[in-house]
């Protein structure tokens, strides 16, 4: 039987037993009383917030999740168990689409942030909370490395000085040492498989040795050149220094817009490592997070800032992970779905449910700009802006999609 995807009635089409498979996690509905729009939040990709003690990790986490659950105390290791928070990805396009379609429910894309315990020298050998740190970071898709780029005598530094480059090197060194130890064990474990002619083992051995060479020369594993046909095996290695890194420069309030000498030095370092950087004032962001939308806009305007630093941070994290968004829109809900760049239409359908990928027929596609210009789906159809795309179609950022599939 052929179906046209209507998310609002999805459970009835694929059966009651498939509901958990669709969402995978329980959505948390929130009601926007002002316009009676329901917003539902679903989990997304996971980014670990790391850094030396007292650099502003928990303050940043508090702001990101709009909660004071993380105890931002002024002493090392105040974060022992990682705090996890769900953050909606800011995207004005979703609200525009919902307004045109008259959608009752808005479901933004999501990212997960994890506040991980502060790291010190010797963590790779279990010093401080090193073992927990390494285990927690291994579970994340990317790393947001918070660096102290502000001077404040009232906030202690574990090494008694402010030098974000050295802080970055401290953590990178610990991760590199942990990777080297892991690589040695993995290489030893592959000997028998290689002798048996296991092709995957041969490729893994080659990748491990290339990573080892980079690490021993003082470079993180993410600087290695990995061919497209090696990516799958590379990811299976779960090397800590292979994860994408975003350096978050936590500056004074006065420098929140343009940064300072510390943040400029970090940006130069990031460029040499294949990483990214963003400037933010965690103190400002935490204060903004406690304000209503109109108040926060006024506060930002008074500070001469065009947008919240958190929006830049989340957008940078999205870019770092190579992510983009497509939308499903109707009168019942407007929803943003997160996919990786270069995702095909069937794979994009599979993000909603595996059955849609397996039974994929075609995707009725409208580019975001066309949807706006034509004032919705019907107008897009009338002006010939709706396209029927097949299995080889690479979904573009902002596409509005309706999937046709067999069950």
- Which sequence spans correspond to the domains of the chain? 2-24+342-406, 45-163+242-320, 175-240
DSSP 206-240: HHHHHHHHHHHTT--GGGS---GGGHHHHHHT--G
Is 175-240 assigned to CATH 3.90.1170.50? no
Architecture of the structural domain at 2-24+342-406: Roll (3.10)
In this predicted structure, the answer to whether residue 294 has a pLDDT above a threshold of 60 is yes
| Residue 114 Ramachandran class (φ > 0 left, ψ -120 to 50 alpha, else beta) | beta
Does the pLDDT at position 8 exceed 60?
no
φ, ψ at 178 (rounded to 5°): -65, -40
**Range name among 101-105, 145-149, 220-224, 254-258 with the lowest pLDDT average:** 254-258
Q: What is the mean pLDDT of the chain?
A: 80
Q: List the single range of 10-19, 214-223, 237-246, 379-388 with lowest mean pLDDT.
A: 10-19
CA R_g for the chain: 23
Q: Which pLDDT does position 86 carry in this prediction? A: 78
The pLDDT score that the predictor gives to residue 11 is 36
Residue 156's pLDDT is 60
Q: Enter the pTM of the model.
A: 0.75
What residues are paired with 85 via a beta bridge? Answer: 113
Tell me what pLDDT residue 370 has: 97
Q: What percent of the chain has pLDDT over 90?
A: 43
Please give the average per-residue pLDDT across 182-192, as a whole number: 92
pLDDT digit string (tens) for 298-333?
888 888 887 888 888 888 888 888 899 999 999 999
112 closest CA partner among 334, 385, 318, 319? 318
pLDDT for 12: 35
Residue 161 has pLDDT above 90, yes or no: no
Closest CA to 179 of 97, 105, 234, 117: 234
Q: Tell me, what's the pLDDT at 44?
A: 56
**What gap in Å lies between CA 61 and CA 82, rounded to an integer?**
11
Topology (CATH) of 45-163+242-320: Rossmann fold (3.40.50)
Among the residue ranges 82-86, 158-162, 285-289, 358-362, the one predicted with the least confidence is 158-162
Q: Quick check: do 2-24+342-406 and 45-163+242-320 share a fold?
A: no
CA distances from residue 221 to 165, 240, 297 in whole angstroms, order as listed: 19, 8, 41
């Amino acid at each position: 039987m052929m179906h046209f995807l209507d998310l609002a009635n999805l459970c009835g089409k694929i059966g009651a037993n498939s509901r958990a498979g669709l969402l995978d996690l329980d959505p948390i509905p929130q009601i926007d009383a002002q316009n009676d729009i329901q917003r539902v939040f679903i989990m997304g990709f996971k980014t670990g917030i790391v850094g030396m003690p007292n650099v502003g990790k928990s303050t940043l986490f508090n702001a990101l999740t709009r909660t004071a659950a993380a105890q931002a105390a002024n002493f090392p290791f105040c974060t022992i168990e990682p705090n996890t928070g769900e953050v909606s990805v800011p995207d004005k396009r979703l609200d525009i689409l919902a307004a045109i379609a008259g959608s009752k429910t808005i479901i933004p894309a999501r990212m997960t942030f994890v506040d991980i315990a502060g790291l010190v020298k010797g963590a790779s050998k279990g010093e401080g909370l090193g073992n927990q740190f390494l285990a927690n970071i291994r579970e994340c898709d990317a790393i947001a490395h918070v660096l102290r780029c502000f001077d404040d005598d009232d906030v202690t530094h574990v090494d008694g000085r402010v030098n974000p480059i050295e802080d970055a090197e401290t953590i990178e060194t610990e991760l590199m040492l942990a990777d080297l130890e892991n690589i040695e064990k993995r290489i030893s474990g592959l000997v028998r498989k290689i002798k048996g002619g296991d092709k995957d083992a041969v490729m893994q051995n080659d990748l491990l040795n290339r990573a080892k060479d980079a690490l021993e020369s003082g470079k993180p594993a993410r600087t290695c050149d990995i061919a497209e046909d090696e990516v799958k095996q590379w990811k299976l290695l779960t090397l800590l220094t292979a994860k994408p890194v975003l350096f978050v420069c936590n500056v004074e309030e006065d420098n929140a817009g343009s940064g300072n000498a510390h943040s400029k030095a970090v940006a130069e370092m990031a460029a040499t490592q294949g990483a990214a950087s963003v400037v933010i004032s965690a103190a400002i962001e935490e204060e903004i997070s406690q304000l209503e939308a109109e108040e926060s806009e006024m506060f930002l305007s008074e500070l001469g800032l065009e947008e919240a630093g958190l929006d830049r941070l989340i957008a940078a994290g999205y870019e770092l992970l190579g992510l983009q968004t497509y939308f499903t829109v109707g009168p019942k809900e407007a929803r943003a779905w997160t996919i990786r760049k270069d995702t095909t239409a069937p794979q994009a359908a599979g993000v909603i449910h595996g059955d849609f990928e397996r039974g994929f027929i075609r995707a009725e596609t409208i580019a975001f700009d066309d949807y706006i210009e034509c004032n919705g789906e019907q107008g897009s159809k009338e002006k010939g802006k709706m396209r029927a795309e097949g299995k080889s179609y690479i979904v573009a950022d902002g596409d509005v999609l309706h999937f046709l599939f067999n069950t």
